[in-house]
Amino acid sequence: MRALACDLGGTNVRFGLGVDGRLDPETVVQFPNERFSDFGTALKHYFGQVRVGRVERAVVALAAPIDGDTICLTNRNWTIARAEIAEIAGTGDVVLINDFVALGAALSRAEALVTRPVLPGAAGRGVKLVLGAGTGFNASALIEGGHVLAAEIGHTGFAPEPGLETALRDHFAGRFGRCSLDRVLSGSGLVALYRVACDRSGRAAALGDAAAVTAEGAAGRDADAVLACGTLAGMLGRTAGDLALTFLPRGGIYLTGGVTGALAPFIQGPDSPFARAFLAKGRMRELMRGFTLDLVMDQSAALVGCLAWPDLPCNTVCGGRAAGPT
């Protein structure tokens, strides 16, 4: 059976084709969303490029909670309608799933993913957790036995340390009434953190986007960018530690997301700001040392998960499958 897999984030969209649940790497393509006016146009463009007329199933992973047949993307003004996908893909078997549900499903094939070690631990059987920062922040868990646990963790509250992080929290709380993880553990959060750092140091904010902040931070060329990158990696490590205490993922923790990847120099190694914050759980420090963390290098992980997903159960709001042709 030929299936379309699609991973639609807030910034980029990836497409790929699979046969009998296996992704064909030669069909994988990524586009920036801004290249298209809407999702249907992007999907038609992909079908034209790979010269495919129709598929038997389409599984679309979205950065949004899935609660019906028409979904608004959380961080971009796009509407995704199953009926439109069905028409373009030529199939009534259209599945919409949360992007982190796709990543959770990909963990059922974790041995096939390209990863790089962050913290070695006593990897074993048990819950696997995937989390990551990109346009926003989220996570999901794969329960032993195959159940994917969807979440909307980006909308939970941010727990700041005193100082710079609390100033960042105050910045967002003043603007939106609260400060969620999505606001801070994201590309726009990194830029906001950099600006708050500049404000506090009395220097002008010379860098305008997350790519510039991570590049200057990694190169050590801009003191405020270095501070912002290290602080964000620490916030990410602390949050990964909080989620480790929440899911007790003895099967491993997998880090994904564009911002996470760009911060790799601040994440890898036992003395990185990420690792130090991950382990800093007071009386639970020894428990934390037992967890294994890996950085997922595989850009196609969510596509792999799209093709694995229909075989796995999930909590109720994560997916919708067509009852019949639409």
What contacts 60, CB < 8 A, 6 or more positions away?
4, 6, 8, 80, 85, 94, 95, 96, 97, 306
User: What 3-state DSSP class applies to 94?
Assistant: strand
Give least dist CB 317 to a copy of itself, A: 5
Of 42 and 142, which has the nearer Cβ to a copy of itself? 142
Give least dist CB 122 to a copy of itself, A: 11
Of 76 and 155, which has the nearer Cβ to a copy of itself? 155
Give least dist CB 5 to a copy of itself, A: 23
Of 56 and 152, which has the nearer Cβ to a copy of itself? 152
Give least dist CB 255 to a copy of itself, A: 18
CA angle, corner 318, sides to 3 and 243, nearest 5? 115
Of 237 and 261, which has the nearer Cβ to a copy of itself? 237
User: What 3-state DSSP class applies to 295?
Assistant: strand
Separation between Cα atoms, residue 59 and residue 65, nearest integer Å:
15
Give least dist CB 83 to a copy of itself, A: 22
Separation between Cα atoms, residue 200 and residue 194, nearest integer Å:
10
Of 160 and 273, which has the nearer Cβ to a copy of itself? 160
The H or E element containing residue 171 is helix 164-176
- The conformation of residue 180, written as its DSSP 8-state character, comes to B
Of 146 and 220, which has the nearer Cβ to a copy of itself? 146
Of 173 and 211, which has the nearer Cβ to a copy of itself? 173
Give least dist CB 265 to a copy of itself, A: 24
Torsion of CA 178, 184, 186, 189, to 10 degrees: 100
Structure tokens at 205: 């904010």
Give least dist CB 171 to a copy of itself, A: 11
**Long-range CB pairs of 244-249, under 8 A, 24+ apart, other chains included:** 244/129, 244/278, 244/288, 244/291, 245/281, 245/284, 245/287, 247/127, 247/129, 247/141, 247/149, 248/126, 248/127, 249/126, 249/127, 249/128, 249/129, 249/141, 249/291
Judged by the rule CB under 8 A, the positions of this chain that interact with a copy of itself are: 65, 67, 74, 124-127, 143-145, 147, 149-153, 155-162, 166, 169-170, 173, 176-178, 180, 238, 241-242, 245-248, 250, 280-284, 287, 313, 315-318
CB 33 within 8 A of CB 42: yes
